[in-house]
Amino acid sequence: MKNFILTSLFCFAVGALNAQVAPWCGTDQYNESIFAANPDLRLQMHEHLMRVNGGAYASEERDEECIIPVVVHVLHDNGEGNVSYEQILSGIEMLNEDFNRANEDAEDTRDTDGAPFLDIASNMGVRFEMAKIDPDGNCTNGVQRRYAGSRSYNASNNMKHYSSGGLDAWNRNFYFNIWLVNSIESDGAGTILGYAEFPYGGGSSNYGVIIRNDAYGTVGTASGDRTLSHEVGHCLGLLHTFQGGCHGSACDDNGDYCCDTPPVSEAQWSCSTTQNTCDDIPSGDLYGFDALDQFENFMSYSPCQNMFSEDQKTIVLGNLAGIGFLESLVDPDHHDETGVGLPAVLCKAQFMSEKPEICAGSTIQYFDDSYANVTEWNWTFEGGTPATSTEENPVVSYATAGHYKVELEVSDGASTVSTTQEQYALILPTPGNSLPYSESFETIGMIPDNITILTLDEDGEDEWVVTDEVGYTGTHCAYLSNRGNDNRTKDEIISSTFDLSGIDPDDDIIFNFKYAYVRRHSGDDEWLRFYISNNCGETWTLRKNIHGDDLGEEVQSSSYTPESKDEWYQVNITNINPDYYTDGFRFKIQFENDNGNNIYIDDINISTSAMVGLDENEINALNLSVYPNPANDYLTISMNLASQSEVNVTLLNALGQQVGSVFNGELAMGNNEFSYDLSNLPKGVYFIRSVNAQGVTETIRFVKE
């Protein structure tokens, strides 16, 4: 048996690509790892295809429709790649058109003396349908979504497993799994649009299709190419039409095992009606002469694909009848478990948005993701304009900073379901906080607080928190439990907004922070990056990165905690230019792991060169504290001032809105205490904010019981 039989076991497909993009299918290394794990796989595949072509799995016409239940797993990056349900359905529609000869370009199949392909173009009689019941018996629209961050790019089989940041396959005996990502790992050999795994040998836990979202479907991010049909063809057992190149051997025992697809020398991207790359005529060839290349076949690389052949239909239907898990997949007795073939009913209200975090004055578009048969929508937007809407996908503006609730009620005309997402829309202030700014994590209590600091955790596991065990200044700092994390995910500390619009362009921004870190192994290459934004986080610009020896020269295999101030490094950011002096300035500190050790951040300071009279200690001169915490009827506020100063102390609610004035006047140098009556306040989380005459701000969180 020739080795070429499995050269497409892990390959990408091509649709309408332009001439500048050369697709790549050289995944021999991957195939060899599969063969090494299962040396008999080549022979198993060959013997199975020989049985299929020999009629071993031929069956009488089905009484029930041949339906393949589908689940689509969407891996996105904070909205990038979080495609609409409409786009997902367009991919299923494409599959049903292409596999059932209902595609509009079916009429383009040639029927000439040199290319008599029209009569062998097949209707496979296979229908794909989104699952309506999930593996736990709950209603579903057949879609799972997960924020995967940077791992949604250069993706591989890791996106097929929840433990590595992706989404686990649903039971392949009942569901056909498709994973959508932003891009696919290619080892630098070109653009890969998707890849599939054959069903031969029983398949593996990675069985299914992984595909770029811009190569899936016909609307949204998609280009309308035939990558999906090509890849599903692979999953159902079809090889490339150019498999094995030119040969004169038995057509049902070599190449792609199809006698009605003429051999092709190698992958071709041409639609030339005179293209004929092989002179050999295989034994048993359907045509009996040297037919032209069948570039219209979905299993070619041509941009003119529009057909499957009858012999390809024989292989697909033979596999659906002769491979155990595929036979189970289309078994009509399982329709009740997946919901396919049953009428859709309204069972769940849900919604999504591309980005629920914006600045005041901006808009969020909401998308209904309820299922199924929704005909009426009733939205309620706390803090938004409009406050209510009956549109399917409304656009809502927010004028005031806060964390707001969104409610959706949907109906199909007969029944109604609803959902409420508390604190869904996070609206950041514009203009933002003024300078100088200092954060030593002594009073913030926890992060994210969604007022001054937000966080991002790509893998949903370890994330930045506030620890009270260590700090450069005081006993608190931001801490990331990172020892042994090796999935290259990124964790971020992200600021709220700052108003730099009034700063003189000739004035320099002074920005610094401290970190403590050691590597776990000498070969660790972990990255600390610093970004800034001048448009409220719509786009980010890298201003500094530190990694490897520069991040930390010391090595410690045990879990790391700094023991002295000598272990802290200071990072100075000196390249914030006046283009970033806006009222929506933000910064973020990003850490990327590589099987290393813990990292700590402390003393984030922002000021300007005009504020040189305030050194680092003076920026922290308010020394604000409150007690008791939690509090009941009264709260005591204490400030230990380095010098006499005018101070304005206010009370904020959990949305950052001022709900009371505590004190506004002059305080003497030294310790100052005063009491505030809380008896009329509802229970909840509040903040005391103090600002002195120099603009120094400190905020401390407390709980009213």
Which pair of tokens denotes residue 55? 């009629």
**Cis bond upstream, residue 372 (ω within 30):** yes
* CA angle 132–137–142, rounded 5-degree value: 30
What is the rounded CA–CA span in Å between residue 18 and residue 226?
A: 14
For 233, counting Cβ atoms within 10 Å of its Cβ (0-12 exposed, 13-18 middle, 19+ buried), the class is buried
User: Are the beta carbons of 669 and 644 closer than 8 angstroms?
Assistant: yes
Q: Are 626 and 635 in contact (CB under 8 A)?
A: yes
Task: Return the DSSP state at 94.
Answer: H
- Give the integer Cα–Cα distance in Å for 677 and 188: 65
Question: What six digits make up the tokens of 538?
Answer: 């719509």
Q: Are 640 and 671 in contact (CB under 8 A)?
A: yes
User: Looking only at Cα atoms, what is the longest distance across the chain?
Assistant: 104
| DSSP alpha helix (H) spans, 4-142 | 28-37, 41-53, 85-99
Decide: 279 and 89 in contact? Cβ < 8 Å: no
What is the C-alpha to C-alpha distance for residues 228 and 212, in angstroms, rounded to an integer? 10
- Please say whether the beta carbons of 440 and 603 come within 8 A: yes
Of 580, 485, 583, 594, nearest to 542 (Cα)? 580
- Tell me how far apart the alpha carbons of residues 610 and 250 are, in angstroms, rounded to a whole number: 84
Catalytic residues: 231
From 259, 553, 603, 651, select the one nearest 437 (Cα to Cα): 603
Alpha carbon of 206 to those of 13, 203, 457, 625, 682: distances in Å?
17, 8, 25, 55, 52
Both structure tokens of 518: 């050691």
Alpha-carbon separation of residue 606 from 405, 512, 569, 639 (angstroms): 32, 7, 17, 22
What is the rounded CA–CA span in Å between residue 184 and residue 194?
7
